[in-house]
Amino acid sequence: MKPAFLLPLLALTLVTGCTRQNPVAATPETGTLPVRTAIADAASLPAVIEMPATIRPAERAVISAKVSGTIASLPWGLGQAANAGDVLASLSVPEIEARVRQAQAQLAENERAVAREHTLVTKGVNPPDTLRDAEDRLRFAQAGLAEAEAMLAYASIRAPFAGVITEKHVLPGDLATPGLPLLVLESTSRLRAEGTVPEQAASTLRIGDSLPVVVHDGAPAVEGRIEELSVAADAVSRSVLVKVSLPAGSARSGQFARLQVTAGVAESVRVPATAVTRFGQMERVFVVEDGRALLRLVKTGRTAADRIEILSGLSAGEHVVLAPPAMLRDGQAVAVQP
């Protein structure tokens, strides 16, 4: 007879043996993926160098006062658009206002003197020379009033052209003096990319020529037109300043850009644009070798039609995968489809 305490232990052993699970089978390897490929071809293309540039407005004005005075009104803020002739700031100039009133009184007095002398000369009381002297004093008073009114007009500071306020240096109540910057006004209708290019490459450039400008990374270049070209090269950098006008709305003032300047001819490798995929900041292609897809990191250049230039990471004659499937991995077996 078995002891009673062995019965529960025997039952537990039987239950455990009956409920034991079978080992998990290994996951089979990923199968072969069908892909389409194209051959990376070599082509002779113009050698393009990219030079840094800065987007600047063609019209930019630092607004300052011509007369001294306290700023009475300055309603404009950063980013606000102004039309040509709009009053940007008003100055309080009581001294000039007093000069205007003084000139007006002087003019009125001389007008009365001319009328009196005209009557006396007509009656033969005074000689004609006294009338001419009075008329000379009248013209002098008229010029004095015109000068005072011109000075008073400077108290209203107006926009010289249509643009946007990009800087604001003073507030109402501040003292404005001649030469002190108050505001900066920039035109948004005409922007230019300004940069320097090597003197050898600049020798082929002419005013009015078309020049590509890269404004946004990854976006096609914008076709600009050379508006200004320096005739002298910098003696230190051996470069020439060039200013390229851009289409309206293609960039913003202060933005970084790159000028694409042609400098001879060079051999380049091109592939269909669908062969290049991007993962974050990396550009990738899959190359088929011995029935497997191998991942390559590449650097791309210009895009023309449906083909993209490969600057590094790929050689001419290699087979690249077109529109790589999302499940394609480095080293995976592939079957090339016609």
Which residues lie below 8 Å from residue 271, measured CB to CB, with a gap of 6+?
38, 40, 41, 285, 307, 308, 310, 314, 320
3-state helix, strand, coil in the chain (%, to 5): 20, 45, 35
Burial tier of 84 (Cβ tally within 10 Å: 0-12, 13-18, 19+): exposed
Distances from the Cα of 15 to the Cα of 2, 21, 268, 310, angstroms:
19, 12, 73, 66
Spatial separation of the C-alpha atoms in residues 166 and 62, rounded to whole Å? 10
- pLDDT for position 280: 86
- Please tell me the number of Cα atoms within 13 Å of 241 on its side-chain side: 10
Does residue 13 register a pLDDT over 50?
no
Provide the residue type at 213 as one letter. V
Mean pLDDT over the full length of the chain: 85
Q: How confident is the model at residue 176 (pLDDT cuts 50, 70, 90)?
A: very high
46-78 per-position pLDDT tens digit:
777 889 999 999 889 999 999 999 999 999 888
Across 232-306, the runs of DSSP E, i.e. the strands, are 239-246, 256-272, 277-279, 282-289, 292-304
Spatial separation of the C-alpha atoms in residues 259 and 261, rounded to whole Å? 6
262-278 per-position pLDDT tens digit:
877 777 899 999 999 99
239-264 per-position pLDDT tens digit:
999 999 998 878 888 899 999 888 77
Spatial separation of the C-alpha atoms in residues 256 and 254, rounded to whole Å? 7
Q: What is the pTM of this model?
A: 0.58
- pLDDT for position 56: 92
Spatial separation of the C-alpha atoms in residues 193 and 182, rounded to whole Å? 26
77-99 per-position pLDDT tens digit:
888 999 999 999 999 999 999 99
- pLDDT for position 178: 92
Spatial separation of the C-alpha atoms in residues 212 and 193, rounded to whole Å? 10
Spatial separation of the C-alpha atoms in residues 130 and 58, rounded to whole Å? 57
- pLDDT for position 30: 52
Interval 167-184 mean pLDDT: 92
- pLDDT for position 2: 45
Domains recognised in the chain with CATH numbers: 38-57+190-336 (2.40.30.170), 62-91+155-189 (2.40.50.100), 94-154 (1.10.287)
Q: How confident is the model at residue 24 (pLDDT cuts 50, 70, 90)?
A: very low
Which residues lie below 8 Å from residue 1, measured CB to CB, with a gap of 6+?
none
pLDDT above 70 covers a percentage of the chain that reads 91
